[in-house]
Amino acid sequence: MLSLDKFPLGCKGVVDSLELSDEAFRRVAAFGLIPGSRFSLSRRAPFGGPLVLEVGCTRFLLRRSLARFIQVKVAE
């Protein structure tokens, strides 16, 4: 298990847990990132910029400062 900001680029994973406030959880969940959901990490902006994640048909930006609090597993 590792935090999302350390997740390898181009891999698929499964969300394990989100250590977020209610409000942040709502925002993240609105993009489909909830415990058990599958995602892939397709890009990482240079200079510590945001990540690009894909959940289902949805692609979105997520800042690394938030990704730190999301625990994930690499999916086989």
Partner 1 sequence: MKRFALIGLPNTGKSTLFNRLTGMSQRVGNWPGLTVDLTSARVLLGGSMVELVDLPGVNDLTGYTDDEAVVRDVLMSTAFDAVVLVLNAAQLDRQLPLAMQILASGLPAVVVLNMADEARLMGIKLDVDALQHKLGVSVALVSAKRMEGWPRLMDMLNRQASGTEPAVHAQLDKVPETQEAIALAHACLQGVWSLPPVLPVGQTEKVDAWLMHPWLGLPLFFGFMALLFNLTYQIGTPLQDLVGSGLDWFKEAALGHWLAPLPAIVQSLLLDGIWQGVSTVLTFAPILFVFFILMAMVEDSGYLARAAYLTDAFMARLGLDGRGFVMQLMGFGCNVPAILGTRVMRERKQRLLTMLIIPFSLCSARLQVVVFFSGILFRPQQAPWVLLLLYLLSFAVAIFTAWVFKHRYRGNEAFLLELPPYRLPGLRHMLIRATGEVRAFLELASSFILMGVVLVWLVSHIPAGHDKTLADMLGSVMAPVLDPIGIRHELAVALLVGFVAKEILLGGLAVIYGVPEAGLGAALLHHLDWASAMSFLIFTLIYVPCLSTVAAIRRESKSRAFTALSVVWSVLLAWVIAFVFYQGVHALR
Q: Assess 11 for contact with partner 1 (CB under 8 A).
A: no
The residues near 33 (Cβ < 8 Å, ≥ 6 apart) are: 15, 18, 39, 53, 55, 62, 70
The binder of partner 1 chosen from 11, 61, 74, 75 (CB under 8 A)? 61
Other beta carbons within 10 Å of 28:
20
Q: Assess 17 for contact with partner 1 (CB under 8 A).
A: no
Q: Assess 2 for contact with partner 1 (CB under 8 A).
A: no
Q: Which residues bind partner 1 (CB under 8 A)?
A: 20, 23-32, 34, 43, 45-50, 52, 55-63, 65-66
